[in-house]
Amino acid sequence: CFAFITWLNYSKKDGNENSGSNSLEHLMSILTPVLFLITCFFTFYAEINSYWEQLYSNSMITTIADDGYKMNNYNYSLLDFKNIWLLNYSLLFFSTLSFINITRIKNYTLGIANLAINIILVFAFLTYGLYLISELRSAYLEKTYTEYYNSGILNLGIRYISFLFLGLILFAFKKYIEASFMKSNLSKFFEILLHITIIWVLSSELLHWMDIAGYSESYKMNLSILWGSYSLLLVGLGIWKRNKLLRISGIALFGFTLVKLFFYDIADLDTISKTIVFVSLGLLLLIISFLYNKYTKHIEHDSKDE
């Protein structure tokens, strides 16, 4: 019904209404599409939620202890699957809405609202979503309740399925920036958001494989090396593309890595790990310094242009 009303509103135009009805029509032209989108979103959201809740409810197994005490056990991984699929669905829904608006509707107000929701969803995935994925990995590795439930390879594979949805919404963000009807320059913000997402996902991926390999106790050292390496990449890209924002971001990330190293990592690292980290970051710092000295004229020319 909301879809039909929205279609009628945009396809039938009548210029004979009085000003009062025009005001009401304008209000309905805003409310009806909003209600239509909300209805569409929560219809499928409720279906996905109901599906996983039913699986969780059906997973109940009652066990009796030696003292006769009855205990109900559930497959709690199903709740994590439910939440990550709800998040994946949200990413897909608003990515699809983005592409429809970019190619067909081309509405600035909808675009701004859509972008705001997309940004919230990206940070929701980077925080809550990656946490859910790590919980599923832990359930797979620890074989929680293996006598009752099977933790399959999907506990590990769901992260890469989710990364596809994350990449889709970032691509939609990029298309919004390129759209002429948006009339706003968000390219620098997108650049920052993109690199924050990349380093966040890479850090999660590093922890993921270290946990699988059984080396999770040395994650602090490896994260510092990863962040230092990525800061070098940002500085290199900033020099190559003459992008001051990337260079400053790379230096800021390297500075944050050094602060993390001295105030958080160093207390728990043994002598060998400290040596590896300091030597690695020292080499990275020398490379960054070399690049700045070698391309000083290139950078100064870039600064004058900006």
Q: Please check whether residue 137 is in contact with residue 212, taking contact to mean a CB–CB distance below 8 angstroms.
A: yes
How far apart are alpha carbons 251 and 262 in whole angstroms? 17
Rg (CA), the chain: 26
Tell me how far apart the alpha carbons of residues 157 and 215 are, in angstroms, rounded to a whole number: 20
Place of tokens 């925080």: 127
Per-residue pLDDT of the chain (306 residues; tens, 9 = 90+): 888 888 887 776 554 444 445 777 777 778 888 899 999 999 999 999 999 999 999 988 887 777 777 788 888 899 999 999 999 999 999 999 999 999 998 989 899 999 999 999 999 999 999 999 999 999 888 876 666 777 788 999 999 999 999 999 999 999 999 998 988 788 899 999 999 999 999 999 999 999 988 876 667 788 888 999 999 999 889 888 888 889 899 989 988 988 888 777 777 777 787 788 788 888 888 887 877 777 766 665 555 445
CB of 72 closer than 8 Å to CB of 35: no
State the Cα–Cα distance between residues 71 and 64, nearest whole angstrom.
Answer: 6
Is 293 exposed, middle or buried (CB count within 10 Å of its CB: 0-12, 13-18, 19+)? exposed
Quote the pLDDT of residue 192: 94
- Both tokens of 221, joined, read 């050292």
pLDDT digits (tens, 9 = 90+) for 44-63: 999 999 999 999 999 888 87
Q: What is the pTM of this model?
A: 0.86
Residue type, 238: G
Task: Tally DSSP H helices, then E strands, for the chain.
Answer: 11, 2
Q: DSSP alpha helices (H): ranges in 179-270? A: 187-213, 219-240, 244-260
pLDDT in the model for residue 112? 93
Tell me how many degrees the CA angle 190-192-195 measures, rounded to the nearest 5: 105
What is the tens place of the pLDDT at every residue in 244-278? Answer: 889 899 989 988 988 888 777 777 777 787 788 78
